[in-house]
Amino acid sequence: MKVIRYLQGLAGILLFCSVPLVGQEVPVCKTQLSLSEMESTRAARQLTFRASPYSTNYDLKYHRLEWTINPAVYYIKGKVTSYFVPLEQGMTTLNMDLYTGLKVTGVTRNGVSLAYNQLAGDRLEILLGSSLAAGRLDSVSVAYEGAPRQSAFGSFTQTYHSGTPIISTLSEPYGALDWWPCKQSLEDKIDSLDIFVRTPAAYRAASNGVLVEEYAVGTEKVYHWKHRYPIPTYLIAVGVTNYAVYSHYVPVSGRNPIEILNYVYPEYKSTYEVQTQASVGIMQVFNQLFGIYPFADEKYGHAQFPFGGGMEHQTMSFMGGFSHLLQAHEMAHQWFGDKVTCGSWADIWLNEGFATYLEGLTYQYGLGSSSFQSWLSANMRTAAMSTSGSVFVDDTTSVSRIFSSVLSYSKGAMLLHMLRGKLGDNAFFQGVRNYLNDPTLAYGYARTADLQRHLEAAGGQDLAEFFRDWFYGRGYPSYTLYWRPDAQGARFRLEQTSSHSSVPFFEMPVRVQFIGNGRDTILTFEHQTNNQEFLALVPFEVREIVIDPDLWILTGTKKVVASTTGMIELATPSIQIWPNPVSDLLYFNLPAGVENASFRLYDFRGQLLRTGTAVSPLPVQDLQIGYYQLLFQNTAGKTWQARFVKQLRSYEP
């Protein structure tokens, strides 16, 4: 979902607004329910659970959803038939989630009426009439009707556009039970659906999957949508109004084109028919980076609805508008959020952080009218608005915290960007593709540890410290770099402060740009300790230094201080070494009387390569060609330095 920025306004009102990330985005705002109203029922609904504790004893397999909806009337009447498999022997009751303000009019199993109770806490208890065997498919049908509860982002909304009524749904995160009897869960996906919507003939119904038939019943029409992929409860949706319909098609090598089906208000059709063409190029980029659209056998689609943003309903995103970024964001969710769904609202960044980052990738791949760097800079600024927030959601009872645009969206996206910078493009994108295609995760649920595992395997790096700092930890670093020219480049000391005490130091690779005499170069330094000292060996006189010029780290301030006094000395006097350049063995003489000295070997970027006891000669034949620095230290803590150049052996071509 993209609420395109939200702010807490005066008097506790939440505003969902599109604050322009770049100049061409048009602001869209929608006032939603007050914060207190949105969250007033959270305790009773036990929202900290990934599923109700009463519904964990069965596995949902199929829903037949039959709804009668007149968009001019805030009301729903329906029958939900659910096929399920008991997970324990002797199951005698089946519990579903349903707003108690909706009236259940009957429950049947195999045509036989069953007893039921509508209990506090929005629980529907069904007495099955017999003891069910574990592992055996069974089913129940629940008939119900009434006016759904108005809550959260508008789980069931009735309004008008140009005088015509519309009813639409948006169930994320906890709103499905507001309008239909379901199992509200982030553990159990429904394997397949058939959705039948009956409405006056003047209207059309949009929903998940493929429209397989539409037929008249007197003055009404029935629309039958079929979906044959696993789907979480919150991604099931309907929209009913006088939609105008048109399609685009995405060419795919070696297979039929993928349809992008658009349901829009007729008064906007001519405008949106041009704008939605952008989705073709966006899907081509995502297909290339992350694999073919996950529901290509059915369709992708858009349905316009009255919301200041969008919602990634599986195979048919509901859209409040059609800006480039909103189209990219909601389509990205089809991979990140729909194919692989966060297994807890604490991990919502797996949905929203990815969808936000993929917005920026469309700019990097030449789509849209802005640049990746402009987008990146704007999201860095947004993410830095919270000096003490974590990407991990520590209060999943708070809808506003789950969908924090600063933390779940922008900071989540920047977390991905920093992982990409740390691992490199090849490892990062391969790890992400492996995550999406993992048979234990694909079309199922994932947690942050699952993504970490795949990125570690692809990149060959331990990312535990990174996730402790950037996912669970709070805040971000600020840097001050003190430097002075050196005969072979620049000496500098890198100081870091953290915006929050939960992370006293962020171990990060820091890119530094050195500029001078019409030349420049960018080197990467592994910043492992505060006030770490480096020597940058560059083949020109350095006149200026820039920290992280290409924005690979979420930071606060970045200060560069040229200093000739008052700076920590980077090394004490040098010692004699030979030969220099060297190919195999490096000899050195430590001062008389020095015993049990140790050495540290650094490359030209300041990265520590090797430590050990200082014994001459030192083998260096395994080093790559380039500049190196040695620091020797005796037991009293006194240090000496030496610099050398590694070359090929003289007899090597």
The pLDDT of residue 14 is above 80: no
Distance CA 77, CA 515 (A): 70
Domain 577-646 architecture = Sandwich (2.60)
- pLDDT over 80 at 330, yes or no: yes
Return the DSSP state at 530: T
Query: Collapsing DSSP states into helix, strand and coil, what is residue 397?
Result: coil
d(CA 571, CA 638): 10
Contacts from 315-318 at CB under 8 Å and sequence distance 24+? 315/208, 315/209, 315/227, 315/229, 316/206, 316/207, 316/208, 316/237, 316/261, 316/263, 318/168, 318/170, 318/206, 318/237, 318/239
pLDDT over 90 at 124, yes or no: yes
What's the whole-number average pLDDT of the chain? Answer: 89
> What is the predicted pLDDT for the residue at 595?
72
Residue 50 is encoded by which pair of tokens? Answer: 């990934």
Q: How would residue 19 be classed by pLDDT, with cut points 50, 70 and 90?
A: very low
Q: How much is the pLDDT for 335?
A: 98
Predicted TM-score (pTM) of the model is 0.85
pLDDT band, residue 446 (cuts 50/70/90): very high
Instruction: State the residue for tokens 């780290």.
Output: 553
CA 485 distance to own-chain centroid: 42
Query: So what's the pLDDT on residue 360?
Result: 98
Q: What are phi and psi of 258, to 5 degrees?
A: -95, 125
pLDDT at 26 over 80: no
- pLDDT tens, 282-305? 999 999 999 999 999 999 999 999
- Of 18-27, 58-67, 479-488, which range is least confident? 18-27
CATH of domain 6-41+245-472: 1.10.390.10
Of residues 592 and 482, the one with the higher pLDDT is 482
3 state SS of 507: coil
By mean pLDDT, which of 49-53, 136-140, 425-429, 501-505 is the weakest?
49-53
What is the structure's pLDDT at 487?
Answer: 73
Task: Identify the pLDDT of residue 565.
Answer: 52
**What percent of the chain stands above pLDDT 90?**
76
pLDDT number for residue 533: 86
As given in the structure block, the two tokens for residue 523 are 């080197």
CATH, domain 477-562, list 1.10.260, 2.60.40, 1.10.3470, 2.40.160: 2.60.40
**pLDDT number for residue 453:** 98
Q: How confident is the model at residue 36 (pLDDT cuts 50, 70, 90)?
A: very low
Give me the pLDDT at residue 107, please. Answer: 98
Tally of CB atoms within 10 A around 360 = 26
Name the β-bridge partners of 58: 86
Give residue 649's pLDDT band: very low, low, confident or very high (50, 70, 90): low
Would you say residue 95 has pLDDT above 60? Answer: yes
User: Which of the four pLDDT bands, split at 50, 70 and 90, describes residue 564?
Assistant: low
For residues 68, 72, 76, 77, the Cα torsion angle rounded to the nearest 10 degrees is -40
pLDDT at res. 4: 52
Query: Residue 197 above 70 pLDDT?
Result: yes
Of the chain, the end-to-end C-alpha distance in Å amounts to 59
Q: Is the pLDDT of residue 51 over 70?
A: yes
Query: pLDDT > 70: what percent of the chain?
Result: 90
Q: Where does 50-242 sit in CATH, by number? A: 2.60.40.1730
Residue 648 or residue 407, greater confidence: 407
pLDDT, greater one: 412 or 626? 412
Local confidence band at 29 (pLDDT 50, 70, 90 cut-offs)? very low
pLDDT tens per residue across span 224-280: 999 999 999 999 999 999 999 999 999 999 999 999 999 999 999 999 999 999 999
Per domain, the residue ranges of the chain are 6-41+245-472, 50-242, 477-562, 577-646
Mean pLDDT, range 416-435, rounded to an integer: 98
Q: Are both 477-562 and 577-646 of the same fold?
A: yes
Torsion, Cα of 540, 546, 549, 553 (10° steps) = 130
The tokens describing 288, both together, are 């290339």
Return the minimum-mean-pLDDT range out of 2-11, 191-200, 205-214, 307-316: 2-11
- Between CA 138 and CA 82 the distance in angstroms is 8
Phi, psi of 7 (to 5 degrees): -125, 145
